Structure 1
Amino acid sequence: MGIERYSISMYFAHILMAAARRLTLDEEVLLKEAGISRKRLDNLHLRITPDQFSRLMQAVWRLSDDEFFGAGSQRCPKGCFAIMAKQVIHSHNLHSVYYKLSHFYNVMNDSLHLELKVVGDEAMFSMALSDPSLDPEYLLRGFLLLLWHRFPSWLIGQRITLKRVTFDHPEPVHSAEYRLMFPCPIHFDQPETCLVFDARILTAPLVQTAETLAYHLQRAPVDWFTRPAYYPVYTRRVLDHLENIGDLAKATIQSTASELHLTERTLRRKLLAEGSKFQKLKDGVRRDMAIHYLSQTSMSINQTSQQLGFSDPSAFTRAFRQWTGELPRTYRDAALNRK
């Protein structure tokens, strides 16, 4: 499960190659560098590793010298993100990060307009393309919104919990993948493309430094497509255990502590010091596994409920609706219709 959870739908490689085709790049060179065969590329039901997708994106960036894949009204030369990142790393808090990030791209490139708004207790970071027709498969909008969430989260050392995400385009055929990218209610055909989160986190200070940023940029973009690396040590160890355990339903803090060669009391204390709780971590893994299982069609909703350790299907239904804003049946039917 751990490997599958962090795999990426071939659909994203397919639409990235479509962008490369519009840029008249050498497709064989791109596929060879990514380690993807032409035959596999055309099978949209397959999945690839984050490393493969990262290498494909790096190759497109290198050959096109455009970090926007040709989907912007103006080319964004390779290295622009790194320049922006080296500016925002000296910010005092998350609010400053979003302000500087917006200012950089708004001045540097006419392809998009970024804006941070605070309305009541909600912060909204919106993005508008000057020419959306250049992004026909919504690749640039999906990638950049993911980046505007995960990179700032890494900077402050904690995931920015999203209340909802909106997109200014119709629901794409691969919308199930968006639930893995943004584990929150997602709405399409909205007035703007936007991240919405609790405004209180804007005061969170940065924990990363120029030194850690240098390593982060060396690994980019692979870390943006996997579980963010900012989890503290014991939180990460618990997550690694839960994601790879054979029977998540039977996982308890006692059994997990034993696997990690700790006492239950010690593990609770370590997690508490990191601002984590075992049940919250387990529920997060449950959420991602539920989304994965319901994106496939081989496991029924009842089987999924049992696999994840819910007492009955109705409890699972309530939890899934809270996680995604949808009923499991609705989500499963949409997956079936895409097959």
Structure 2
Amino acid sequence: MLQAQRTTSSGWASAIGHALAIEGLDIVELFAHAGLDPELLTDPDARIAQDGMTRVWQLAVERSGNPAIGLHMAHVVRPAHFSVVGYSLMSSRSLLEGFNRVVRYQRLIGESADLMLQLEPGQCRIQFAIHGDRLPAAQQSVEAAMAYALAFCRWMTAEPVTPLSATFARPAPSDPAPYAALFQCPIAFDAPSHSLTFSRQLMETPLATANEHLAKLHDRFAGEFLARFESDPVTHQTRQVLCRLLRQGEPKRQAVAAAMNMSTRTLQRRLQEEGVSFQQLLERTRRELALQYLGQPQLTLFEIACMLGFADPSNFFRAFKRWFGLPPGQYREQVLNGDDVDIKE
């Protein structure tokens, strides 16, 4: 069976956009030029093809003339870039525990990312790798991950954390000054891997943001999301595309397949392998979104019908009653009144 393409989370892509803005670049324009839909950047559940992000990095280097542009990621640290993974890291007891969580959930940030922890006497080595699909990953992508990891350590500890060493699996750049300025430690190029090494004492120091209850809660959310993501990757990706396209009307198979860079036949086959048809997934997605939207009182029933891709609101009303056994207006009234809603699945 063919593997689904590697993707990057929209949160991480947005972080890259903030970093590129430091050089005066516009991520929306770069996305469009790279053949990506800029609306993906504002969809928190969207996934973006890794090869598309490689093209964005290539364009960024070409237009800025700065091959070390990935290091700007050290200046845009926000937990939301990692979604639930970032908050899970924040609530960890130590940096070591937090990075173990990042290793566990790294696929939620990007399937192309590969993070590995190596514990050694007195030190901890974090090894980074980014894998491409058809295109080899840009060196800026892995350097961005390293810069962000270091900045996150400094932000979490509120200390000017300095690694014991940093290694790069690439030739020495013509200008190593940006690397020396950021990492402030011995640096080796042409190394076997990209890595940062920290003292064990630093990695095991208790964090002021530690919260065991929140950590367990975030673990549950991240674990549930990861389980769905890993068990049915194409179904998950298709649902995300459907959520994005529904506002434009009922999505056709051809449009969804094109958004996923595959043929209609391939999409149908992969969904079938995961035990669902396109029509079943479309209906399931509409059902789930309908319940979410009806819980938002600022949205009218007409607006919700349009957001679900129904050309005629009456079609939405009939579909909702078929799904749940009561009209959408009655469901909303009961929910907003705090009443128990007896819906028929």
Structures share fold, TM-score greater than 0.5:
no
Bucket of the pairwise TM-score, normalised by the shorter protein: 0.3 to 0.5
Larger Rg: 2
Structure 2-normalised TM-score? 0.40
Structure 1-normalised TM-score? 0.41
